[in-house]
Homo-oligomer: A and B are copies of this chain.
């Protein structure tokens, strides 16, 4: 019974969980994980602390579920791009554009990934063994590279070298944008960056 309803439609409880996560995500990414308290989250959600623990068993568990949620959102976007009938060069454009668009519209997703997930190992090593919290996203990125290599467009280099370039570069730019040191709006860098990335990855 329960299994069916879970698969067909989100339950009321799942909806509530998601809306809690949105709020916690925003708090964590703007205020930091350790500086955001459980009462502060509960208050912003409009819920008592006690009841909060009916939805998430701990602060770490909440952090983990948020990361899973972000990974699924980004993974889904990448999946669409992968499935599209475009050239590798165009797909890179699309990925950069997509990433920056999210950074503009829902900056908390990227900030959380960069500032909370990547920087607080102690929280996620327990909850997210391996890379399972970001596997959705990583899977799609791997697919993109493999396809590019198979089609002969990209160099057959170590996956992680390419991943480091992609994520480091884009993350670095979003970070600088967040620091407000960039002289232009983020999206105006799209063309240059996509070009830089393509030049770095393509078969010379």
Q: Are B193 and A161 in contact (CB under 8 A)?
A: yes
Verify if A168 is at the interface (C-beta below 8 Å from B): yes
Instruction: Return A175 CB to nearest CB of chain B, in Å.
Output: 6
Q: In the complex, what residues of B have CB within 8 A of residue A176's CB? A: 160, 163-164
Q: In the complex, what residues of B have CB within 8 A of residue A172's CB? A: 163-165, 167-169, 171-172
Is the interface on chain A under 10, 10 to 19, 20 to 34, or 35 or more residues? 35 or more
The complex places the Cα of A171 from the Cα of B164 at a distance, in Å, of 8
Q: Could you tell me the dominant secondary structure of chain A's interface residues? A: helix
Where the two chains meet, the residues of A that have a C-beta atom closer than 8 Å to any C-beta of B are: 31-32, 34-35, 114-116, 118-122, 131, 157-158, 160-161, 163-165, 167-173, 175-176, 181-184, 189, 192-193, 196-197, 199-201, 204
The complex places the Cα of A131 from the Cα of B200 at a distance, in Å, of 29
Q: Are B182 and A160 in contact (CB under 8 A)?
A: yes
Please give me the residue from chain B that is nearest to A116 by CB atom.
B119
Q: Are B184 and A158 in contact (CB under 8 A)?
A: yes
Please give me the residue from chain B that is nearest to A162 by CB atom.
B196
Q: In the complex, what residues of B have CB within 8 A of residue A163's CB? A: 172, 176
Q: Are A161 and B32 in contact (CB under 8 A)?
A: no
Please give me the residue from chain B that is nearest to A119 by CB atom.
B119
